[in-house]
Structure 1
Amino acid sequence: MYVLIDIINERNYNRRKSLFSTKKERSMDIRQLEAFVYTVKYQSFSLAAQKLYLSQPTVSSHINNLEKELHTQLLKRTTKSLSVTPAGQTLYNYAAEILNLQQKAILELSDKNQKLLHIGVSSVPSLYLLPELLSAYHQEMPDVRFRTSCSDSLDVIRKVTDGTCDIGLVGTKISDTPCRFLPVTSDELVIAAPATPHFQACLELKDPVSMLLKEPFLLREDTSGTKQETLYYLKNRGLSLDDLNVIAVMDDAASLIRCITLGMGISILSRATVQNDAQLGKLLIIPLEQSAFLRKLYIVYSSTQFMSEQTAHFFAFMKQFYAIS
């Protein structure tokens, strides 16, 4: 009887082995994901290779292998441009998260005696608030290490919600979240326009904003805090996106500003992000109203996730730093 059972078990094992051996084993690894994420991030195979200290053919090979394994096109390539397919965007979201978690694990495990804070920050606070905040906290707590993740406001809120980030700084708040928001300071939104004679002439008009809003418009992505506040501003003027000539939606603020300086169109942006370019004469700043249109910048933290002692200390320092009662 035991011999018969052994024979049956061996046949079942061989049958399962045969079944799985007919399937191609997937060999997706972290190097392939890094190559893909960096290529999408920098919109260039050569720049991705440079950042990863790899050859360009190696980066291309990693991405080609990913596409073969997943049986789908991830990137659309032409001689002049590179774009991400819907499938590629899905993979990018997951892969970027995997790399962030990998880096967080490395930092946390490399020296258990050192403390780590993972801070999520959207584009405007990353420029306007974060450097001074981290510098001041480092002077008080020099043994603390930082890991910052810069993305759009809604993504930062999501990461704080699920615990990927300990705390965040964002440019908008939402109601459908377990997170709480503390206003830190005000940020002025302005129209940024090319520094050309045409737009210089608009400044002489009685109502330059009405004329400027008819120009080609560059818009931040849906999950950007700046985008949310732009919609709010338009609503107050009795307008919607359908009333604008939107020619591009861009998720990178630096690229958008560069497009403005090259004369592509206008946008509504934070004064803090365009002030330097305006001082250099690369673009024009036009207030949205006679009185500045201000939005709030917020500290965001989870009301459901456990706040570690280190995070609680940093949170208390932030409230003291920004004089929040």
Structure 2
Amino acid sequence: MNLKQLEAFVCVAEEKSFSAAAKKLYLTQPTVSAHISSLEKELGARLFVRTTKDVELSPEGEQLYGNARKILQLEKNILRDFTQKDLKTANRIVVGASTVPGQYILPQILSLFSRTYPGNQLELKEADSMEVVRLVQDGLVEIGFTGTTVTDPTCVFEPFYSDRLVIITPNNDKYRQYEKTGFPLEQFYEERWIFREEGSGTRKEAESHLKDMGVDLSRLEIVATISNQETIKKSVEAAMGISILSGAAVDDYVEQGALLRFSPGPQEIYRKLYMVWSKNHKPGKAARLFIRFVRELYAYL
């Protein structure tokens, strides 16, 4: 049993939903489900009763809930007591981030960090993944967040988040037929594609996975290369073409019914998002505190 499992359990109990708990904790739903499953297996008890509308605590879950909340509150008290000294030496932290972590992951992390360590000042610079790495290499940012890695012995890349890659299409009859069967591989060559720009971690990882699936990239009809993900989503909605993007970036359009989302292959495809820092320009004390905070936040992904 660990604190992340108890945190997931308490959150699901309070939100009455696995998906809502995942959003609140900034985790994927499979990760939350895995935490609950492991906890139930260890305790030998079913903790939730799943209904068609929501999730309710079982009698065993009710028994665990009060103690779990007390344990989590004790953790917060300990962290508060032992991190007060860090607040006295608060500092400015310069962070670089590519589009997906910068727009869809980091805002929540930065908010949690600033509430936990309110004396620190955070500066965020956004660029594509390759440019973020260059900023780290040049010492212009202390920590980078990217969607891919590069071969550079002077940089440390540490994965912190699993991001699902998905195909997005317009929500119309042509594509709704694939909701039951999945998006067929042979259809890739019949579609018009909108890709992210060169240097994008999303594009690099998407192309790598497509190659692994046996897709001939030279046969794809690429009608546009766009750096802004919001523009890509709107272009797909307008039936300009289809695209592969981060699952975190398309949740809003899918939930609104503007787009459909498919796995690019027979199984879901995930790529890692990374923290990166330079061995030559080592992060300062406040930046190291931020790295530790992110590690602990996503320790059980």
- Pick one of 177, 199, 204 that aligns with 1:223: 199
Amino acid of the residue matched to residue 195 of structure 1? N
Post-superposition shift, 1:311? Answer: 1.5
TM-score w.r.t. length of structure 1:
0.61
- For the pair 1:323 / 2:290, whether they are aligned, the reply is no
TM-score w.r.t. length of structure 2:
0.66
The residue number in structure 2 matching 1:264 is 240
- For the pair 1:252 / 2:211, whether they are aligned, the reply is no
The residue number in structure 2 matching 1:241 is 217
Distance, in Å, in 2 between the alignment partners of 1:248 and 1:163 is: 34
Structure-to-structure mapping, 1:1-325, within 5 angstroms: 115-176=91-152, 178-203=154-179, 205=181, 208-323=184-299
Q: Deviations over 1:98-149 (max 9, x none)?
A: xxxxxxxxxxxxxxx9731111111111233212211121122212111111
Please say which of residues 294-303 and 212-221 is displaced more in the overlay.
Answer: 212-221
Distance, in Å, in 2 between the alignment partners of 1:159 and 1:324 is: 29
Post-superposition shift, 1:307? Answer: 2.2
The residue number in structure 1 matching 2:70 is none
Amino acid of the residue matched to residue 151 of structure 1? A
Post-superposition shift, 1:238? Answer: 2.0
Residue aligned with 2:177, SS = helix
Q: Percent identity?
A: 31
Q: Deviations over 1:57-81 (max 9, x none)?
A: xxxxxxxxxxxxxxxxxxxxxxxxx
Q: How many residues align?
A: 213
The residue number in structure 2 matching 1:30 is none
Post-superposition shift, 1:289? Answer: 2.3
Residue aligned with 1:129, SS = helix
Specify whether residues 293 and 171 from structure 1 end up closer, same or farther in structure 2 by C-alpha distance, changes over 3 A only.
same
Specify whether residues 204 and 323 from structure 1 end up closer, same or farther in structure 2 by C-alpha distance, changes over 3 A only.
closer
Distance, in Å, in 1 between the alignment partners of 2:214 and 2:197 is: 21
Distance, in Å, in 2 between the alignment partners of 1:176 and 1:318 is: 23
Amino acid of the residue matched to residue 220 of structure 1? R
Distance, in Å, in 1 between the alignment partners of 2:112 and 2:206 is: 32
Post-superposition shift, 1:223? Answer: 0.2
Q: Which runs of 5+ in 2 are unaligned?
A: 1-88
Q: Which runs of 5+ in 1 are unaligned?
A: 1-112
Compare CA radii of gyration and give the structure with the larger one. Answer: 1
Specify whether residues 305 and 238 from structure 1 end up closer, same or farther in structure 2 by C-alpha distance, changes over 3 A only.
same
